[in-house]
């Protein structure tokens, strides 16, 4: 394929071919380019000439480009230039230029020779971080193999996952369902065949990517591809390849627990495996056996911190911090206000409740030096449906007073603090009603 003729002239106004050598994959050919303005090296993928008229192939390439754009270089190549939006115009050859990743593929790095357990765990742990981001974005790679992993600058902690040509994501349009993989077609790869990718049993599940990542781990420590989940003797990959595992790995204190990780991750039934990349990361992070020399509290804290590093928990903690800030501002203003009118409040200050999705404070309000009558009061901020919701309760009656976006904490703080006056008015009215009841008590007549 002569891409200098195939691609539009605006590409060659910006780029020039560095090497005539091309690499060919299932979806297209790959060429190494250089940007004229700054010397940036690019990797240009062009749809195969015989696939230019194929709607399915064009749609898949568009999906691959969109997936990389969505991930924004999170362990994946950055998109620099493309024409994927023209996927529905059969007369235009599709191309995408990504950053060029320097470094060997995992295939070339391992080259059939086992590597240390530390190196294997470092690579797979980083790969799982990338997969977690993919899955949170609704993207399943489905073609994880050593050829599709590049060790950026030969650093084990920076593997780059490439080739999303077989990736699955929710179709952007219901009318595009026709381009989904045919049920009679096998997907995945020969590096590690999974039963859920067999013809007639396609399953869109992040577990499959996680299982293939575990296949990468056994590959690095043995130098051999796992090939299948269960061999004819019913052995899982780590059992079938046991003779290839180096002695220093078997005698490592982590090996016993690693076998358990393999036993779970290589279950034939998808529902019995690790359900997410983060779950496997946690299992790998706790491989060190708990003995007298291990600080058990430190192990537990490491697990907690690992979970807290997830995007969802970090977002939740950020919302909690903003809600606590708003509630503390209210509390300070409110307590000052009731003290100025010779009232007092006893109860509980701002506290996180309901599995972390609500911040609440409550008080029993009465006059100073007189505990009766009392008015029960609670103030609450909840996170729901991507918004903050603030409400208060006076004597078991709840009132909504704010609903706004999670991204606007300053408006929340302003509204919560401003609610002091109407809330205090409501409390005093209830307090007056209770005083009137006492006033009419028979003992005072």
Domains of the chain, by residue range, sit at: 1-100, 102-169+184-309, 322-444
- Same topology, domains 1-100 and 102-169+184-309? Answer is no
Residue 193: CB atoms within 10 Å? 16
Residue matched to tokens 């697990």: 303
Name the residue among 430, 437, 444, 439 with its Cα closest to residue 374. Answer: 430
Closest CA to 228 of 188, 271, 182, 277: 188
Whether the CB-CB separation of 71 and 61 falls below 8 Å is answered with no
- Residue 115: partners with Cβ closer than 8 Å, 6 or more residues away: 109, 220, 221, 223
d(CA 34, CA 307): 41
Q: Mind giving me the DSSP string for 217-256?
A: HHHHHHSS--EESS-TT---HHHHTGGGS-HHHHTSTTHH
**Which pLDDT belongs to residue 8?**
87
Cis preceding linkage at 385, omega within 30: no
Tell me the CATH architecture of domain 102-169+184-309.
Orthogonal Bundle (1.10)
Point out the residues of the chain with pLDDT beneath 50.
Answer: 174-175, 178, 183-184
Residue 425: what pLDDT?
Answer: 92
CATH node for 1-100 = 3.30.200.20
Token pair, residue 54, equals: 């194929």
Long-range contacts of 158-161 (CB under 8 A, 24+ apart): 158/126, 159/75, 159/106, 159/123, 159/126, 159/127, 159/130, 160/75, 160/76, 160/77, 160/101, 160/103, 161/75, 161/76, 161/127, 161/130, 161/131, 161/134
State the Rg of the chain over Cα. 30
User: Tens digit of pLDDT for each residue in 57-97?
Assistant: 898 899 899 999 999 888 999 999 999 999 999 889 999 99
Q: Which pLDDT tens digit goes with each residue over 417-436?
A: 888 899 999 999 999 999 88
Unique residue bearing structure tokens 């071919």: 17
Q: Specify the pLDDT at position 181.
A: 53
pLDDT at residue 174, as a whole number: 47
Q: Which two tokens stand for residue 338?
A: 């009731």
pTM of the model: 0.62
């Amino acid at each position: 394929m002569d891409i200098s003729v195939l691609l539009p002239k605006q590409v060659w106004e910006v780029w020039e071919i560095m090497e005539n050598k091309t690499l060919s994959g299932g979806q297209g050919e790959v060429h190494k380019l250089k940007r004229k303005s700054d010397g940036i090296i690019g990797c240009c993928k062009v749809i195969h000439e015989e696939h230019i008229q194929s709607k399915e192939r064009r749609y898949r390439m568009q999906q691959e480009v969109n997936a990389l754009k969505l991930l924004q270089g999170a362990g994946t190549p950055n998109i620099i230039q493309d024409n994927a939006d023209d996927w529905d115009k059969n007369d235009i050859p599709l191309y995408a230029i990504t950053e060029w990743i320097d470094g060997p593929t995992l295939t070339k790095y391992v080259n059939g020779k086992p590597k240390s357990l530390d190196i294997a765990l470092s690579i797979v742990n980083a790969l799982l971080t990338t997969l977690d981001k993919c899955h949170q974005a609704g993207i399943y790679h489905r073609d994880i193999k050593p050829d599709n992993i590049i060790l950026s600058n030969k650093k084990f902690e920076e593997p780059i996952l490439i080739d999303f040509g077989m990736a699955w994501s929710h179709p952007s349009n219901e009318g595009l369902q026709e381009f989904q993989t045919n049920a009679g077609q096998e997907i995945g790869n020969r590096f590690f065949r999974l039963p859920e990718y067999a013809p007639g049993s396609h399953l869109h599940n992040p577990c499959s990517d996680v299982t293939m990542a575990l296949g990468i781990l056994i590959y690095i420590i043995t130098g051999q591809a796992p090939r299948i989940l269960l061999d004819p003797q019913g052995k899982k990959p780590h059992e079938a390849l046991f003779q290839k595992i180096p002695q220093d790995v078997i005698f490592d204190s982590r090996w016993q627990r690693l076998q358990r990780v393999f036993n779970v991750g290589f279950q034939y039934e998808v529902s019995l495996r690790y359900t997410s990349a983060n779950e496997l990361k946690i299992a790998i992070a706790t491989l060190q056996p708990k003995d007298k020399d291990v600080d058990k509290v430190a192990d537990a804290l490491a697990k907690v911190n690992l979970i807290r590093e997830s995007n969802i928990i970090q977002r939740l903690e950020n919302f909690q911090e903003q809600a606590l800030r708003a509630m503390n501002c209210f509390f300070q203003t409110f307590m000052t206000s009731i003290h100025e009118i010779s009232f007092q409040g006893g109860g509980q200050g701002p506290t996180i409740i309901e599995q972390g999705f609500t911040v609440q404070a409550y008080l029993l309000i009465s006059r100073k030096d007189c505990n009766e009558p009392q008015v029960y009061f609670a103030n609450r901020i909840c996170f729901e449906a991507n918004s903050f919701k603030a409400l208060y309760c006076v004597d078991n009656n709840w009132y909504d007073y704010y609903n706004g976006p999670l991204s606007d904490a300053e408006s929340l703080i302003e509204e919560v603090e401003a609610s002091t006056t109407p809330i205090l008015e409501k409390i005093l009215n209830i307090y007056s009603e209770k005083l009137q009841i006492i006033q009419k008590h028979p003992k005072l007549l």
